[in-house]
Structure 1
């Protein structure tokens, strides 16, 4: 739910180049794609993953089952694309972030790959807009400030080299996460 100071639309959110920062519910955004912080099974779960599957309906789950049949799930750092089902977004990009284990088990690189691979799918489909939640910052325990810095760095690097997506929206749930993204975006 947006805070009292949040804009009513991601299009009205604060702009940092081709990046916007929006506080609210990612399942309600009408970007061309939203990113799901999925688990390796792709069959739904808790947090953002569960919310996206519930809001998007059975079409997303069916598409995920087809991907599982082809490739056996989605390993950490990788990304796959499905239709958006009943979501306002046309597509869902599912990516599996790392579980935080202190930062010494390739977690930063795996998280960076989540953003790069998700953005590469958006670029391949020539999507105008894609929205990201804080990947791995929920039950996977990735520190929010470090995750925000990686997200912003990877988005900026990718956008500097590619025309698509035209806009990246970072969607935060609470004020703490908003502050971390604002800090990363202002450096």
Structure 2
């Protein structure tokens, strides 16, 4: 996937103080940076579920919650597509399950 910009972020370590809030804030900041650049799409790898030790389900829930909150609170957005870079079928299943929960609300 070609990228015009790469937004670097510091992902919290699972079990660190306020790691869940920090992860949501990290995603929020990435989305804000993308909006500032008027980007139309952004891709999120499931970074916290790798070396940072977040349980995959928890990482998906927090990332999707932050993205959902961003669009609920935004009156207009340049972002039209959000991509998730996932490397195993378990993660894909988890993200699909968590997105279905958001759709049901």
Per the normalisation by structure 2, the TM-score is 0.88
User: Is 1:136 the counterpart of 2:53 in the alignment?
Assistant: no
* Greater per-residue strand proportion: 1
| Larger Rg computed on CA atoms | 1
Q: Which structure shows the higher helix fraction?
A: 2
1:121 aligned residue (9, 17, 33): 33
Give the structure, 1 or 2, with the largest relative contact order (CA under 8 Å, sep 6 or more): 2
Gaps of 5+ in 1: 1-28, 30-87
Q: Distance in 2 between matches of 1:153 and 1:164?
A: 19
Provide the secondary structure at the position in 2 that maps to 1:96.
Answer: coil
Q: How many residues align?
A: 99
Q: Assess if the C-alpha contact under 8 Å between 1:99 and 1:142 holds in 2.
A: yes
RMSD of aligned Cα (Å): 1.2
Moved over 6 A (4+): none
Q: Secondary structure at the match of 2:25?
A: helix
1:133 is displaced (CA, Å) by 0.3
In the alignment, structure 2 segments of 5+ residues that lack a partner are: none
> 1: distance between equivalents of 2:64 and 2:31?
12
Deviates further, 155-164 or 174-183: 155-164
Post-superposition offset of 1:182: 0.7
